[in-house]
């Protein structure tokens, strides 16, 4: 049986579809009996969805100018 602590370390792999079929089944079985882990999974999904809707921060112009200058002068020796 998977523990609650293991759920927290496996949740990213679960959401990204990277668990083996056996571990995915064990993960889902634990969710079936643990309301706390179901809540944690819902919170993670909400967090991911919310962060995915945030606009990217613009790069300040002085930083962009410095980066472009460094790229232009880069020498791959």
Q: For residue 20, is it within any domain?
A: yes
**Total of domains in the chain:** 1
In a domain, 72, yes or no: no
| Other Cβ atoms within 10 Å of 34 Cβ, number | 16
Establish if 62 belongs to a structural domain.
no
- Per-residue confidence band for 13, with pLDDT thresholds at 50, 70 and 90: very high
Is 13 inside any structural domain?
yes
CATH code for the domain in which residue 10 is found? 1.10.10
The tens digit of pLDDT for each residue in 30-42 reads: 999 999 999 999 9
The answer to whether residue 8 sits within a structural domain is yes
Residue 30's domain spans which residues? 4-56
Q: What is the pLDDT of residues 52-63, one digit of tens each?
A: 888 888 889 999
The set of residues, in sequence order, having a beta carbon less than 8 Å from that of 45 and lying 6+ positions away, is: 15
Q: Confirm whether 43 is domain-assigned.
A: yes
pTM metric for this prediction:
0.68
């Amino acid at each position: 049986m998977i523990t609650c602590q293991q759920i927290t370390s496996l949740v990213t792999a679960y959401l990204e579809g990277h668990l083996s079929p056996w571990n995915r089944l064990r993960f889902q079985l634990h969710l079936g009996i643990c309301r706390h882990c179901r809540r944690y999974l819902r919170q993670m999904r909400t967090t991911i969805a919310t962060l995915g809707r945030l606009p990217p921060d613009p790069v300040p112009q002085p930083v962009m100018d410095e980066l472009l200058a460094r790229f232009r002068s880069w020498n791959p020796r």
